[in-house]
Amino acid sequence: MKLPTRGWVKAALHAHSKRSDGRLEPEDVVAFYRRAGFGVVALTDHNKVTKVAQPGFVPGIELEARAEGASGSYHVVVLGLDAEPPESVRRDANKLLEWSRGNGYFAFIAHPYWSMLSGEDLLRVRGYAGVEVYNHGCEVEISRGYSGPHWDYALSRGVASYGLAVDDSHNYSLDALGGWVALDIGEADGEEALKALFEGRFYASSGVAVESYEVGEGLLRVETSGAAHVKLLSGDTRGAYLSVELLERLASAEGLPVELERWEEGGARFYRVKFGGTVAEVQARGRSIVRVELRGELPARKYARLELYDGEGRGAWLNPFPAR
Ligand SMILES: [Zn+2]
Ligand SMILES: [Zn+2]
């Protein structure tokens, strides 16, 4: 898979309006994100579907539901629906997810960490298409915005899903413009947005831009606006951590069990490092990594995924591969 093919469009996929506990009217939520450069906006009020007649608008809802044995309740966000789900499925997470899937709606688990769900709880429910790997509102309010380990737990046990970053905005101050999804759809269109979500043609971000991403047989290549460090996480436990600082230390160290080459070309610095059957080539400018290419054995028997972070802790989260 190579991305983007059409061009990135920013999407806000979890936002509240005055129809539930948000501070702005629905139209003003859409206008707020439009002004900030977003092409796609979903309204996901608690228990209520609201539509705004605007290109790039996606109707949605957030519901609280339960599953037997779970340590807490699930907040489930459903996108693409025309009206509220029937009462009979609203409070049962598995029924709600099955109903969503059956009707072609995109459902994801909101803020597992904020909900104090465990990784195991993500195995008690089936049929969700995504998990919020980052929820900005939960992060700035109580520092429980990052749910990477929950997601990894489910992925490593064979429950495939995509990773989303969202605002979950209510106040449209600190809790907004800190988490979004970049969709490969070229132009603002709600239908295309849903299609891209189902196909995984997107990445999640809180500030790091991914310019291009390619993954195929024995090859992974990512180009970015600049990352202080890049993490490869794998279901086979073999991951990798790359930063300019670490590569510089490796370049000057002796007697390490890695082979490292370092060279400069056209104002950029390059590193080539071998670990196991994998060769990583990294291109850097200053302290920032701008390109990573992995060739050879990719540690992705179960799955692998990439996280990129800048010096301020803002990230980008790519969807796991192989895509299933
Ligand atoms: Zn919630
Ligand atoms: Zn919410």
Tens-place pLDDT, residues 210-220? 999 999 888 99
Q: How much is the pLDDT for 12?
A: 98
CA dist., res. 1 & res. 273, Å (int): 24
Residue 61 pairs with which residues in a beta bridge?
Answer: 78
Measured in angstroms, how far is the CA atom of residue 322 from the centroid of ligand 1?
A: 29
Token pair in block for residue 300: 């992705």
- Cα-to-centroid distance, 217 and ligand 2 (Å): 38
Q: 70 C-alpha vs ligand 1 centroid, how far in Å?
A: 16
131 CA from centroid of ligand 1 (Å): 12
pLDDT band at 253; cut points 50, 70, 90: confident
Q: How far is the CA of 243 from the centre of ligand 1 (A)?
A: 34
Query: What is the predicted pLDDT for the residue at 300?
Result: 65
Segment 45-70 mean pLDDT? 97
CB-CB contact of 160 with 324 (8 Å) = yes
Q: At 106, list the tokens.
A: 């995109």
Protein residues placing their CB within 5 Å of the ion ligand 1 = 75, 110
47 alpha carbon to ligand 2 midpoint, in Å?
Answer: 11
Least distant ligand from the CA of 45: 2
Provide the CB-side half-sphere exposure for 69 (13 A, CA): 8
> Using CA atoms, how far apart are residues 152 and 119, in angstroms rounded to an integer?
8
CA 16–ligand 2 middle distance (angstroms): 6
Q: 168 CA distance to ligand 2 centroid (A)?
A: 5
Ligand nearest to the CA of 46: 2
C-alpha–C-alpha distance, residues 277 and 254, integer Å: 21
Confidence of residue 299 (pLDDT cuts 50, 70, 90): low
Instruction: Rounding to the nearest 10 degrees, give the CA dihedral for residues 256, 259, 264, 270.
Output: -100
Average pLDDT over residues 84-92: 97
Which range has the worst mean pLDDT, 25-29, 56-60, 78-82, 235-239? 235-239
pLDDT in tens, 224-238: 999 999 999 988 767
Q: Which residues contact 146 (CB under 8 A, 6 or more apart)?
A: 113, 133, 134, 139
Whether 258 shows a pLDDT value over 90: the answer reads no
* pLDDT cut 70: percent of the chain above it: 98
Cross-strand pairs, 316: 205, 308
pLDDT of residue 230: 97
The single-letter DSSP state of residue 295 is: E
- C-alpha 293 to ligand 1 mean position (Å): 37
How much of the chain, in percent, has pLDDT values that exceed 90?
87
What's the pLDDT score for residue 323? 44
What average pLDDT does the structure give for the chain? Answer: 94
* C-alpha of residue 98 to centroid of ligand 1, in Å: 20
pLDDT at 324: 40
43 alpha carbon to ligand 2 midpoint, in Å? Answer: 10
In the reported structure, the alpha carbon of residue 138 is separated from the centroid of ligand 2 by a whole-number distance in angstroms of 9
- Tell me the CA–centroid distance for residue 30 and ligand 1, in Å: 19
Would you give the DSSP letter of residue 304?
A: E
**Mean per-residue pLDDT for 131-144?**
98
CA 44 / ligand 2 centre spacing (Å) = 7
Q: Which ligand is nearest to the CA of 167?
A: 2
Query: For residue 175, how far is its CA from the centre of ligand 1 (angstroms)?
Result: 13
